[in-house]
């Protein structure tokens, strides 16, 4: 199945963000730490020009820590870019973001000269959760479905920083289907745009190649699981995803498996590594 997803409001988001960037001192790009390249909007690099950018690697508690460290080192090589792994729900970690903003725009954040920061990211990477943690209260809508924020708003943090919250902006060209399947595996793409069985098979094959031990341990897989279908069938049987006739319901198995994978039940997992990002950057 080819994954295609581009909610209508995102067409306006590009224009809104381009306009906001001109008035912004620091750009905060929220990424999913498990897939920083696939969860990035590649247009942002063109739009921000020389504006300093903080790449927030959110959901750090779900990502492979060794891989995340490699991502931080990779982003550090880009001019004007800093990377900050964190969990958007943890105030102590999020407070580092405030200090880093001040460092990148030292002449702002003073009376009469507020530091203007813009928060941008694709849907469901935790953008609204991050803003609410920074503000200390619910200022942005939060949900477990993508595309919650649909229009920009400004939030005064009362510490010299004014945030501009923007709609989730997803790269409109889903031509890279590997990246699309990674996004679907992470939960960033709306359920109506994907086939759970196909995504579940993709995720099962990836886990067996990259993180076989937690997969085998979690679902007590037998040695005859030599294909993604075999793996998903065993997972379905283990989780009780059966039809009335006792057959395995692959759709339900995939849905349950993805829910556990996204929730960290199989440990800390990263879906891509910096080498893949560097290769694509060179190509562009």
Across the range 173-190, mean pLDDT stands at 84
66 and 143: one domain?
yes
Check if the beta carbon of residue 65 is closer than 8 Å to that of residue 268: yes
Q: Which domain holds residue 238?
A: 195-262
Across the range 52-80, mean pLDDT stands at 96
Question: Does residue 5 form part of some domain?
Answer: no
Check if the beta carbon of residue 187 is closer than 8 Å to that of residue 143: no
Question: Does residue 279 form part of some domain?
Answer: no
What is the predicted pLDDT for the residue at 5?
55
Question: Does residue 23 form part of some domain?
Answer: yes
CATH number at residue 211: 1.10.1580.10
Check if the beta carbon of residue 97 is closer than 8 Å to that of residue 84: yes
Hey, how many other C-beta atoms are within 10 angstroms of the C-beta on 178? 13
Tens-place pLDDT, residues 120-166: 888 788 988 999 999 887 655 544 444 444 455 789 999 999 998 87
Nearest residue to 129 (alpha-carbon basis) of 178, 58, 184, 73 = 58
201 and 161: one domain?
no
Q: Which two tokens stand for residue 183?
A: 């996004």
Helices (H), the chain: 10-21, 43-48, 65-76, 91-104, 127-135, 177-186, 196-210, 212-219, 228-238, 250-262, 274-283
User: Which uninterrupted H or E stretch holds 192?
Assistant: none
Q: Which of 192-196, 219-223, 261-265 has the lowest mean pLDDT?
A: 192-196
216 and 84: one domain?
no
Query: What does the alpha-carbon distance between residue 251 and residue 283 come to, in Å, rounded to a whole number?
Result: 36
Question: Does residue 76 form part of some domain?
Answer: yes
Per DSSP, the chain holds a count of helices (H) and strands (E) of 11, 6
156 and 29: one domain?
yes
Nearest residue to 261 (alpha-carbon basis) of 83, 35, 68 = 35
Mean pLDDT, the chain, as a whole number?
Answer: 86
Question: Is residue 236 over pLDDT 50?
Answer: yes
DSSP 34: T
CATH number at residue 47: 3.40.50.300
Check if the beta carbon of residue 109 is closer than 8 Å to that of residue 25: no
Question: Does residue 139 form part of some domain?
Answer: yes
Query: What does the alpha-carbon distance between residue 76 and residue 233 come to, in Å, rounded to a whole number?
Result: 42
Nearest residue to 189 (alpha-carbon basis) of 38, 67, 58, 60 = 38
68 and 103: one domain?
yes
Question: Does residue 181 form part of some domain?
Answer: no
HSE on the CB side for 257, CA within 13 Å?
Answer: 36
- Maximum separation of any 2 CA atoms in the chain, in Å: 70
Nearest residue to 230 (alpha-carbon basis) of 246, 244, 215 = 215
End residue of a domain, out of 103, 138, 173? 173
138 and 251: one domain?
no
19 and 126: one domain?
yes
Question: Does residue 246 form part of some domain?
Answer: yes
199 and 169: one domain?
no
Nearest residue to 270 (alpha-carbon basis) of 79, 53, 72, 54 = 72
75 and 156: one domain?
yes
Give me the number of domains the chain comprises.
Answer: 2
What is the predicted pLDDT for the residue at 150?
46
86 and 129: one domain?
yes
148 and 27: one domain?
yes
Question: Does residue 35 form part of some domain?
Answer: yes
Split at pLDDT 50, 70, 90, the class of 13 is low
Q: Which of 84-88, 207-211, 242-246 has the lowest mean pLDDT?
A: 242-246
Split at pLDDT 50, 70, 90, the class of 228 is very high
161 and 244: one domain?
no
């Amino acid at each position: 199945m080819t994954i295609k997803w581009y909610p209508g409001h995102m067409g306006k988001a590009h224009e809104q963000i381009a306009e906001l960037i001109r008035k912004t001192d620091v750009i905060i790009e929220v990424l999913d730490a498990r897939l920083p390249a696939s969860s990035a909007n590649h247009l942002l690099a063109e739009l921000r020009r020389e504006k300093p950018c903080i790449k927030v690697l959110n959901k750090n508690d779900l990502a492979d820590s060794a891989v995340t460290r490699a991502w931080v080192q990779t982003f550090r090589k880009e001019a004007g870019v800093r990377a900050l792994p964190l969990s958007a729900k943890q105030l102590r970690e999020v407070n580092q973001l405030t200090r880093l903003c001040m460092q990148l725009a030292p002449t702002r954040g003073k009376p009469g000269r507020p530091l203007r920061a813009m928060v941008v990211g694709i849907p469901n990477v935790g953008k609204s959760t991050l803003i609410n943690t920074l503000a200390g209260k619910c200022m942005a809508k939060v949900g477990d479905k993508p595309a919650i924020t649909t229009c920009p708003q400004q939030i005064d943090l009362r510490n010299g920083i004014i945030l501009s919250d923007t709609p989730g902006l997803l790269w409109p060209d889903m031509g890279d289907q590997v990246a699309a399947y990674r996004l679907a595996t992470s939960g960033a793409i709306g359920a109506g745009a994907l086939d759970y069985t196909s995504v579940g098979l993709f995720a099962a094959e990836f886990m067996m190649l990259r993180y076989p031990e937690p997969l085998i341990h979690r679902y007590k897989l037998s040695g005859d699981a030599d294909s993604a279908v075999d793996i998903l069938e065993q997972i379905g049987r283990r989780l009780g995803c059966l039809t009335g006739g006792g057959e395995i319901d692959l759709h339900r198995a995939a849905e349950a498996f993805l829910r556990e994978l996204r929730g960290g039940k199989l440990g800390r997992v990263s879906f891509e590594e910096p080498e893949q990002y560097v290769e694509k950057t060179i190509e562009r």
